[in-house]
Amino acid sequence: MGEFDLIARYFKRPARRAALGVGDDCALLQPSPGYQLAVSTDMLVAGRHFLPDVDPRTLGHKALAVNLSDLAACGARPLAFTLALALPQADAAWLEPFSKGLFALADAHDCELVGGDTTQGPLNICITVMGEVPVQQGRSLALLRSGAQAGDDIYVSGTLGDARLALDVLRGAVTLPGAQLAAARQRMDTPEPRVALGMALRGVATAAIDISDGLLGDLGHVLESSRVGARLDTHIALGLLRHGRDAADKVLPEATRLACVLAGGDDYELAFTAPTTARDAVQAAAAASHTPVTRIGQVLAAPGLQLVDAHGAPVVNSLRSFDHFA
Amino acid sequence: MGEFDLIARYFKRPARRAALGVGDDCALLQPSPGYQLAVSTDMLVAGRHFLPDVDPRTLGHKALAVNLSDLAACGARPLAFTLALALPQADAAWLEPFSKGLFALADAHDCELVGGDTTQGPLNICITVMGEVPVQQGRSLALLRSGAQAGDDIYVSGTLGDARLALDVLRGAVTLPGAQLAAARQRMDTPEPRVALGMALRGVATAAIDISDGLLGDLGHVLESSRVGARLDTHIALGLLRHGRDAADKVLPEATRLACVLAGGDDYELAFTAPTTARDAVQAAAAASHTPVTRIGQVLAAPGLQLVDAHGAPVVNSLRSFDHFA
């Protein structure tokens, strides 16, 4: 199977929204009138972002999911993506399920593959995703990292730490009952980008980010960009670990669970801030997007991130965010 | 040096045209009113697209140049790009010249780095470039592969085959005098994307493509998309090999030179078609963009690509285009 056969067989589909799709030098796209384009790129490397033996179908899902998650964090509606793929060899047994997983998620979000590149090399998947955000009266409605205000509530969508918990089990660091491992592993392998929530939070949230490197590190980017600090309630955050709640509660020490929740990474949930006056609007956005959200802290004027327990006492934080070169 | 230091030190610059640049979940872009967006992605892998010991400064240039070349082939004006980079380690001695080479070319084309990703992994450079093309009366002025008409002239910009000649010398397959090798190697290492020519050919050329895999293969894509055939004059094409003209003429057999010109690849020149009535307009576009162009053949109604010599006699073609998985 040659390069052009590979593209034709697994990745070429009729252009839909795009004026011109796969098969010319460029794809041509037209954002809707009154919208601006949101663009993000994520690269996934074997052994770094996924286990070498991962099911190619879930990998196809995840490679696009982590990119759609960036659009979600901006409140953008997905439009299109490009896919660049370095493969050790053109293997139908891998390409077939990979493309199926990729397109299943793409179709669920009406996001069209419009171009890309394929080459021989160590397995590497690079996706650039494009979405659109409305501009109203000259003002973008995109959710940025820089808009958090002192006094705002801090929220997190869904659950946190389960992906990291699964990874720790697979690495042999902790143990979990089989059914819980399977459920946690599903969180690791097939995260669901919070696109609907991000769009529903336009005009409601003051700042947002998606949690890929761990809550503390990613929330830290919001605080830094917004030049504010925050207080996080660790006892509430602990409740966000779905698969450590019951049986595992008795198995895993609190420090392990807290590390998963606060610094696990690979969650692809949204962390966002909103004024206290917007609590009803946040709940309405959560309900409209069928996405649970939990209030976990408050933005403070003074810089720094304080962790406090159920009694308001400080919790020592020795956790670090994931850094590819640290 | 950590991941975020690396980005801040080498790749973060103040946002210019983009509404929002490096440092949020997405970059925000606004194409000009009446324009559509052209998007293309190219991935470069060490040992596959460049020699492992290549000067990082020229690599930074080339990684962006091959992407800008796709915009040129569509007649698009460059706007912005994202950069995803997998690096074995965060090495300042590599990152510094790489970013310098990258930004020198980006600035020359007023193309802004708006986002990306960095990760640890085998060296891999993935760039997605975005440009804009005018839409007039509902009709895109983008140059496509599919517009060639029987009777059209076929043109090529600049010179062909020199990059391949340099590679063949470096591989020990042929020899060249040192000065010629240096000049040919410059063509291989720092191709100049034909952006100005592409823009000047809007409304003049009927079809265009950039030559990355070799003239025959890339022109073949145009013919296939346009459902036409072509006749190419090999004696004219031979004259496009700049560094085989004089001294090397006596050293290299014609078959070697022809292979470089017709199937060498890595040229990043434009191949395009235009009606015979547009010959003056083509020359005006070439002059306006300071880019030499050469008429090398004609589009035919019957499918297939015929090579003919100076006497119109057929030339046997056993050359193949570059295919990453063949």
The ipTM (two decimal places) reads: 0.88
Nearest-CA residue of chain B relative to A123? B122
> Would you call B28 helix, strand, or coil by DSSP?
strand
User: Cβ B2–A323 below 8 Å, yes or no?
Assistant: yes
**B117–chain A Cβ distance below 8 A for any pair:** yes
Residues in chain A with CB shorter than 8 Å from the CB of B133 are 28
CA nearest neighbour of A240 among A160, A154, A308 = A160
**pLDDT on residue B326:** 57
**DSSP secondary structure of A198-239:** HHHTTTT-SEEEE-SS-HHHHHHHHHHHHT-EEEEEHHHHHT
User: Cβ A225–B24 below 8 Å, yes or no?
Assistant: yes
- B189 to chain A, closest Cα gap in Å: 19
Residues in chain B with CB shorter than 8 Å from the CB of A120 are 45, 48, 324-325
pLDDT band at B18 (very low <50, low <70, confident <90, very high): low
User: Cβ A41–B2 below 8 Å, yes or no?
Assistant: no
Residues in chain B with CB shorter than 8 Å from the CB of A2 are 323, 325-326
User: Cβ A120–B90 below 8 Å, yes or no?
Assistant: no
**pLDDT on residue B3:** 75
**A205–chain B Cβ distance below 8 A for any pair:** no
**Strands, DSSP E only, in chain A?**
27-29, 35-45, 77-87, 112-120, 124-136, 139-140, 153-157, 207-210, 229-233, 270-274, 293-300, 304-308
Q: Which residues contact B173 (CB under 8 A, 6 or more apart)?
A: none
**pLDDT on residue A17:** 60
**pLDDT on residue B19:** 60
**pLDDT on residue B22:** 67
User: Cβ A37–B20 below 8 Å, yes or no?
Assistant: no
CA dist B105 and B100 (Å) reads: 9
Residues in chain B with CB shorter than 8 Å from the CB of A121 are 43, 45-48, 122, 124
The closest CB to that of B70, out of A25, A46, A119, belongs to: A25
**A138–chain B Cβ distance below 8 A for any pair:** no
pTM, two decimal places: 0.90
Q: What are phi and psi of A171, to 5 degrees?
A: -80, -5
Decide: B1 and B92 in contact? Cβ < 8 Å: yes
CA nearest neighbour of A166 among A239, A242, A236 = A242
**pLDDT on residue A28:** 86
Q: Which of residues 53-92 of B touch A (CB under 8 A)?
A: 70-71, 73-74, 76, 80, 82-87, 89-90
CA dist A280 and B48 (Å) reads: 55
CA dist B324 and B326 (Å) reads: 6
**pLDDT on residue B71:** 96
User: Cβ A146–B24 below 8 Å, yes or no?
Assistant: yes
The closest CB to that of A26, out of B26, B38, B87, belongs to: B38
Please tell me which of A27-31, B65-69, B119-123, B166-170 the model is most confident about, judged by mean pLDDT. B65-69
Residues B240-251: tens digit of each pLDDT: 888 766 654 556
Residues B211-233: tens digit of each pLDDT: 998 999 999 999 999 999 999 99
Q: Which of residues 242-301 of A touch B (CB under 8 A)?
A: none
Other CB atoms within a 10 A radius of the CB of residue A120 amount to: 18
Q: Which residues contact A313 (CB under 8 A, 6 or more apart)?
A: none
**B131–chain A Cβ distance below 8 A for any pair:** yes
> Would you call B145 helix, strand, or coil by DSSP?
coil
| Residue B323 predicted with pLDDT over 70 | no
| Residue B97 predicted with pLDDT over 90 | yes
Residues in chain B with CB shorter than 8 Å from the CB of A321 are none
Decide: A141 and A134 in contact? Cβ < 8 Å: yes
Q: Which of residues 6-25 of B touch A (CB under 8 A)?
A: 6, 19-20, 23-25
Decide: A301 and A150 in contact? Cβ < 8 Å: yes
pLDDT along chain A (326 residues), means of 10: 77 68 78 89 89 90 96 95 92 93 96 90 95 90 94 96 89 85 89 97 96 93 95 92 64 83 92 98 98 97 92 79 60
How far is Cα of residue B22 from the mean position of the Cα atoms in its chain? 26
User: Cβ A119–B146 below 8 Å, yes or no?
Assistant: no
B79, B126, B143, B212: best to mutate for the A interface, most A CBs within 10 A: B126
User: Cβ A86–B124 below 8 Å, yes or no?
Assistant: yes
**pLDDT on residue A68:** 97
Domains of chain A: 3-140 (3.30.1330.10), 153-308 (3.90.650.10)
Least confident of A145-154, B163-172, B274-283: B163-172
**pLDDT on residue A78:** 95
